[in-house]
A and B are shown apart, each in its own frame.
Chain A
Amino acid sequence: MKNIPVSAMIGLFFTALYFLMAIFAPLLAPYGMAEVVGGVWEPSSEQFLLGTDSIGRDLLSRMIYGGRTTIFIATAATLISFVTGSILGFLAAVSGGWIDQALSRFVDLIMSIPTLIFALVVLSVMPVTVPVLILVMGLLDSTRVYRLARAVAVDITVMDYVEAARLRGEKTAWIIFREILPNALSPLVAEMGLRFIFAVLFVSTLSFLGLGVQPPQADWGGIVKENKEGIVYGIPAALVPAFAIATLAISVNLVADWVLNRTTSLKGGRG
């Protein structure tokens, strides 16, 4: 672990910080999530480090609990999108023929509808709970992962070593998980960092529009929504979650870059 570049160190530090905050939210937050503890939009003070929000709740506690919700939803949605997207993508690439056609055209169909609008329509019909939110986001995002995974895998399936595995009589599952996956991992990991951030933005957007995480539950998009009127009066409460999203995005990508560098090495990373 001593060869970690500085950029990755910074990224790792902040990513870890955010994730730890999310995990230990109840221990860290000075006040309860929905507890009204002060006046409306109080400036930051020793009592309220980041001030209070539009109805007098402690902003720092809201941010910590909100981060927990946002990061959890984004992580779960990204995992779902990667598992479904890459497995289906690899399957399409390995099978070819009508399976590939059917899957690819179906994905094209979904992708032709703008994601946000599609999500809004689905969520306005379905009950907006966290599992539904995760599922909708994950499945919609998996179309992007599918395209990438298929494109990467198509190049790999024509390699002689995949042919050799087929001639040996290996099953499709072995070919996907042992021959293709290790070689497709680098672009997928890079994409995962990016997709995670898109998921954070997406869930924030949905909450901002009122179809994401429902109040009194906090999440970063929701905090922006609740405090947006404050901007007009020069109150920075709405900018705090924006700043959190930005720093999280940058640090996750720094980590993804480093992982990418390590996994690209064909000598098991030991040079």
Chain B
Amino acid sequence: MSDPLVKVRDLKIGATVYPPGEKPKEIEIVHGVDFDLKKGEVLGLIGESGAGKSTIGLATMAYGRGGVEITGGEVWVNGRDILQSGLRDVRRLRGGEVTYVSQSAAASFNPAKKIMEQVTEAAIRHNKFSRREAESRAVDLFTRLGLPNPETIGNRYPHQVSGGQLQRCMTALALCPEPDLVVFDEPTTALDVTTQIDVLAAIKEAIRDTGVAALYITHDLAVVAQVSDHIMVLRMGDMVEYGTTDQIINAPKEDYTRALVSVRSIKHVEKPPTPEPVLSVRNITARYAGTRFDVLHDVTVDLHPGQTLAIVGESGSGKSTLARVITGLLPPREGRIDFAGRSLSPDLAGRSREDLRELQMIYQMADVAMNPRQTVGTIIGRPLEFYFGLKGREKQKRIQELLDAIELGDGFQDRYPAELSGGQKQRVCIARALAAKPKMIICDEVTSALDPLVADGILKLLLNLQKIEDVAYLFITHDLATVRAIADSIAVMYQGRVQRYGGKTEVLSPPFDDYTDLLLSSVPEMKLGWLEEVIAHRKMESAGH
């Protein structure tokens, strides 16, 4: 047995934090991690945010982002300890022997340079290839990654290709200098499910063809199961479990891993429609001011009291636009909206205070949905004051009731949003919506910015509150697992039209139309060999192609 390509021993990583008003202090964020990686192998690093997975990935390039510093341990790449190497050695390593694919290709490419120039830059800089060789290699990689027009796509600028294509260009960029190791840092997280699957397949094939080793970092266990040979589960900088993909998925040993594998444990039985919908959207067609095409075409859906209607689709399908139309932020060109038995004015200015109170909204990014200068008490208290004129004692009491309802205890009233975790922030937003005693809440991707276990908690809370308060949800999401967990009826949207609409069981049972089939089949499943199966059975090319 030859030495492994990468050997990490007792890796410790620290960071400096700057709590306001106090002296900066050193904390340890990775507490001694070991792993080996052989040539041609893929190791999946998985964990929630803050687990230290990206930090470990970057450590294999002897790099620490921001105030992060590698404080101890050894990282051997190609037979030398890169933490002890000089700057010159490290420079040869980065971009030459080890390359990096980041989460957002759109933010990582220089918008002012052509793609080809950026893809070949590292290879040429490291004197691995001449310009001509590097370019022909890039074209070869473009072909292998399934990019359209591989001969000419390099002449385009980053904004001229789609997000999925750009992510593949970035993979080509990483593979171009013939590295020994590629670090993939959440390469498909920012993509739509239907695009993700193409990129995933392309990455997997490219890894296999070129024989590089790879570290694949993600929070999505189902995704990593498709590409990696081994998986390491991390939590708060500690290794929880390490094993072959098969073992982690099918026979997890640790409780935490088991929780990750079995997440989305919610069983929700569909409720039958009632005679009187609380919201009925009729033939809505809408476009944004100053544009010449409709973003929504003839959308008709109903939402029944105390039920959940899930609007599903990929980005650009018009889901969020529909929410803007319903809230009155974007008056539609045609169609009408009836709410609680009365007709809603198309624009916000024409709506009564009662209309506004009964229709609340929860946003995707809880951190920007709350004023960072207001305390939790003010944030939740304002709707009470505004709609019900509550003051003083009474208001305090109601705020505490609401905090109890969202399972946050005492002492949260005086906190600022910056002092809350992601899940707590989203809970406060839910409380703010509930404070108005609404008939209906629009939930716009409320769980997509959260870690799976936290998201699960939020969904359970929402379902619980629905039972207690009898509130209806219009749930916008791209995540079909979430939809299965909470919806009573589903509308699948594609390019601004409702493609399929009905009760949950009906929509999720065959026969499918081509798009629904593509969407449903693209959701990664936690089993080995799923990716190959799906690619073999596809009826329709995804939008990313």
Does A267 sit within 8 A of B, measured CB to CB? yes
Which of B132-140, B416-424, B476-484 forms contacts with chain A? Answer: B416-424
Q: Mark A160-173, 1 if CB is under 8 A from B, else 0.
A: 11011011111000
Does B210 sit within 8 A of A, measured CB to CB? no
CA distance A271 to B22 in the complex (A): 7
Does A247 sit within 8 A of B, measured CB to CB? no
Neighbour of A269 across the interface among B20, B361, B363, B371, CB < 8 A:
B20
Say whether A265 contacts B372, CB under 8 Å.
no
Does A266 sit within 8 A of B, measured CB to CB? yes
CA distance A270 to B418 in the complex (A): 12
Say whether B19 contacts A168, CB under 8 Å.
no
Residues in A neighbouring B432, C-beta threshold 8 A: 164
CA distance A265 to B382 in the complex (A): 23
Say whether A267 contacts B383, CB under 8 Å.
no
Residues in B neighbouring A3, C-beta threshold 8 A: 21
Residues in B neighbouring A164, C-beta threshold 8 A: 361, 363, 369, 432
- Rounded to whole Å, the gap between the CB of B361 and the closest CB of chain A is 6
Does B329 sit within 8 A of A, measured CB to CB? yes
Say whether A166 contacts B372, CB under 8 Å.
no
Does B386 sit within 8 A of A, measured CB to CB? yes
Say whether A160 contacts B373, CB under 8 Å.
no
Say whether B386 contacts A160, CB under 8 Å.
no
Say whether A168 contacts B21, CB under 8 Å.
no
Residues in A neighbouring B15, C-beta threshold 8 A: none
Does A114 sit within 8 A of B, measured CB to CB? no
Does A54 sit within 8 A of B, measured CB to CB? no
Q: Mark A242-271, 1 if CB is under 8 A from B, else 0.
A: 000000000000000000000001111111
CA distance A161 to B372 in the complex (A): 9
Q: With A164-B363, A168-B383 as given contacts, are A268 and B416 in contact (CB-CB < 8 Å)?
A: yes
Neighbour of A163 across the interface among B329, B375, B419, CB < 8 A:
B329
Does A216 sit within 8 A of B, measured CB to CB? no
Residues in A neighbouring B375, C-beta threshold 8 A: 268
Say whether B416 contacts A266, CB under 8 Å.
yes
Neighbour of A168 across the interface among B328, B356, B419, CB < 8 A:
B356
In addition to A167-B329, A271-B20, 13 A-B residue pairs with Cβ atoms within 8 Å of each other are A160-B365, A161-B370, A166-B329, A167-B348, A167-B356, A168-B383, A170-B386, A179-B371, A266-B416, A266-B418, A267-B20, A267-B418, A268-B416
Say whether A160 contacts B327, CB under 8 Å.
no
- Rounded to whole Å, the gap between the CB of A215 and the closest CB of chain B is 48
- Rounded to whole Å, the gap between the CB of B26 and the closest CB of chain A is 17
Does B368 sit within 8 A of A, measured CB to CB? yes
Please, could you name 17 A-B residue pairs with CB atoms under 8 Å apart, sorted by A? A160-B369, A161-B368, A161-B370, A167-B327, A168-B356, A168-B382, A169-B356, A178-B374, A183-B371, A183-B372, A266-B416, A267-B418, A267-B419, A268-B375, A268-B416, A269-B21, A271-B20
CA distance A267 to B420 in the complex (A): 10
Q: Which of B22, B357, B370, B373 has the most CB of A within 10 A?
A: B373
Does A113 sit within 8 A of B, measured CB to CB? no
CB-contacts of B336-381 with A (<8 A): 348, 351, 353, 356-357, 359-361, 363, 365, 368-375
- Rounded to whole Å, the gap between the CB of B9 and the closest CB of chain A is 37
CA distance A129 to B35 in the complex (A): 80
Residues in A neighbouring B353, C-beta threshold 8 A: 169
CB-contacts of B1-58 with A (<8 A): 19-22
- Rounded to whole Å, the gap between the CB of B326 and the closest CB of chain A is 11
Chain B contact-residue range equals 20 to 34
CA distance A19 to B150 in the complex (A): 71
CA distance A170 to B374 in the complex (A): 16
Q: With A160-B363, A161-B369 as given contacts, are A166 and B348 in contact (CB-CB < 8 Å)?
A: yes
Does A234 sit within 8 A of B, measured CB to CB? no
Specify the chain B residue showing the minimal Cβ separation from A183: B373
CA distance A108 to B229 in the complex (A): 63
Specify the chain B residue showing the minimal Cβ separation from A159: B368
Residues in A neighbouring B21, C-beta threshold 8 A: 3, 265, 269-271
Residues in B neighbouring A266, C-beta threshold 8 A: 372-373, 416-418
- Rounded to whole Å, the gap between the CB of B212 and the closest CB of chain A is 41
CA distance A170 to B386 in the complex (A): 8
Residues in B neighbouring A169, C-beta threshold 8 A: 351, 353, 356-357, 386
CA distance A265 to B417 in the complex (A): 12
Q: Mark A177-209, 1 if CB is under 8 A from B, else 0.
A: 011001100000000000000000000000000
- Rounded to whole Å, the gap between the CB of A254 and the closest CB of chain B is 19
Specify the chain A residue showing the minimal Cβ separation from B356: A169
Q: Which of A3, A179, A268, A270 has the most CB of B within 10 A?
A: A268
CA distance A164 to B356 in the complex (A): 11
CA distance A159 to B370 in the complex (A): 9
- Rounded to whole Å, the gap between the CB of A200 and the closest CB of chain B is 31
Neighbour of A182 across the interface among B368, B371, B382, CB < 8 A:
B371
Say whether A265 contacts B386, CB under 8 Å.
no
Residues in A neighbouring B22, C-beta threshold 8 A: 271
CA distance A61 to B368 in the complex (A): 55
- Rounded to whole Å, the gap between the CB of A179 and the closest CB of chain B is 6
Closest 6 CB pairs of A and B: A271-B21, A182-B373, A266-B418, A271-B20, A160-B369, A169-B356
- Rounded to whole Å, the gap between the CB of A37 and the closest CB of chain B is 52
CA distance A265 to B328 in the complex (A): 34
CA distance A200 to B361 in the complex (A): 49
Say whether B20 contacts A265, CB under 8 Å.
yes
Say whether A160 contacts B372, CB under 8 Å.
no
Specify the chain A residue showing the minimal Cβ separation from B383: A168
CA distance A3 to B22 in the complex (A): 9
CA distance A89 to B79 in the complex (A): 61
- Rounded to whole Å, the gap between the CB of B536 and the closest CB of chain A is 42
Residues in A neighbouring B351, C-beta threshold 8 A: 169
CA distance A267 to B414 in the complex (A): 10
Specify the chain A residue showing the minimal Cβ separation from B351: A169
Residues in A neighbouring B363, C-beta threshold 8 A: 160, 164
